[in-house]
Amino acid sequence: MKLGRLLAEANAGNGGLALIGGEAGVGKTRLVQAVAGDVTAREFRVLVGRCYEIEAAPPYTPFVEILEGVLASALSPEAFRELLGDDAPEVAKLLPRLRRMFPDIPPPLELPAEQERRYLFNSLADVIARTATTEPLLLVFDDLHWADEGTLQLVEHLAQRLPGLPVLAVGTYRDTEVTPTHRLARPLENLLRQHLAEQINLQRLPRKDVAALLRGLSGQQPPPALVAAVHAQSQGNPFFAEEVFKHLAEEGRLYGEDGLFRDEVVIAELDVPRACVSYSAGVWSASANTGAERWPPPLSWAGPSPTSSSKRSASCRPMPSSTHSMPPNRPG
């Protein structure tokens, strides 16, 4: 699989960036979690930075989280200060509390705005490069469709450095939200055009994988009729498949008194919570125009700006993405 190859290359000092796109609930975060769980055992250090669906989120939030992770996993505050070296004044712009921890940090250089940003980006990339000298890194940027402009520019900047570093960066994003005017559209196009990122598109599950999902949730073999019905209702979206399953379980419609699946789960009985129906309608309508909606389009594409989906109003999401469990930034 592509991520396996990229990890092996990163391990050999030739890092890169992978961008995992797919609709809401298709399994992007789950895939990264699985990879993160796997590579932790292979001596990679995993550092996670998330983007949040908050209007006035502080800039560079995922990088702040990643740096917090580096700090948390440092052998000592002094070791962290040493790692920062001359880049400390720039890093302290993102983590102001460093100035209280290390009063020796000098004030940042005063530079014209454009130069200042470049200086900041170089400093942060240098710190990441130095962090990777002790063990290879897996950097996760979850939900990049919510990233602020600065974060996206910094990811682009970092992507240019990665080929010389033992660092694999993996970003996830909802491709159904990235219309041509979306903030992520241009960086995504640039990165792919310059071959600085590899794209991975996650698709809905085929019926056999829905069967496996139901087997995982129930601990028993699901009857084919149930698999077919859940697959049809969810259209292979694992999040919705889980929701349909949970709903039916809560309604007491799945299992007989013996705790086993009822033989006859009547297909007409299958329904989903009302909120999920309207949520899924948003997802499906957004993805129904695929091709035109997916971003990036073929490089020459210049289509009309599609409307955004109604996913935001979803009320059946059990949790915002930000609360998905990802391995915590692992103390070393």
Ligand X SMILES: Nc1ncnc2c1ncn2[C@@H]1O[C@H](COP(=O)(O)OP(=O)(O)OP(=O)(O)O)[C@@H](O)[C@H]1O
The site for ligand X, by CB under 6 A, has a size of 18
Q: Of 213-252, which residues contact ligand X (CB under 6 A)?
A: 213, 238-239, 242
- Can you tell me which of 28, 161, 231, 247 binds ligand X, judged by CB under 6 A? 28
Q: Rule CB under 5 A: is residue 234 a binding residue for Mg ion?
A: no
Q: Of 94-123, which residues contact ligand X (CB under 6 A)?
A: none
- Can you tell me which of 16, 21, 22, 223 binds ligand X, judged by CB under 6 A? 22
Provide the minimum distance between the beta carbon of 247 and ligand X in the complex, in angstroms, as a whole number.
14
The residue among 47 and 88 lying less far from Mg ion, judged by its C-beta, is 47
- Can you tell me which of 10, 17, 18, 26 binds ligand X, judged by CB under 6 A? 26
Stretch of residues binding ligand X (CB under 6 A), selected from 2-10, 25-33, 72-80, 285-293: 25-33
Judged by beta carbon distances under 5 to 8 A according to partner kind, the member of Mg ion, ligand X, none in contact with residue 242 is ligand X
Judged by beta carbon distances under 5 to 8 A according to partner kind, the member of ligand X, Mg ion, none in contact with residue 21 is none
Judged by beta carbon distances under 5 to 8 A according to partner kind, the member of Mg ion, ligand X, none in contact with residue 239 is ligand X
- Can you tell me which of 45, 50, 174, 294 binds ligand X, judged by CB under 6 A? 174
Q: Of 2-41, which residues contact Mg ion (CB under 5 A)?
A: 28-29
Residues 301-321: b if buried by 16+ CB within 10 A, e if exposed:
eeeeebebbebeebebbeeeb
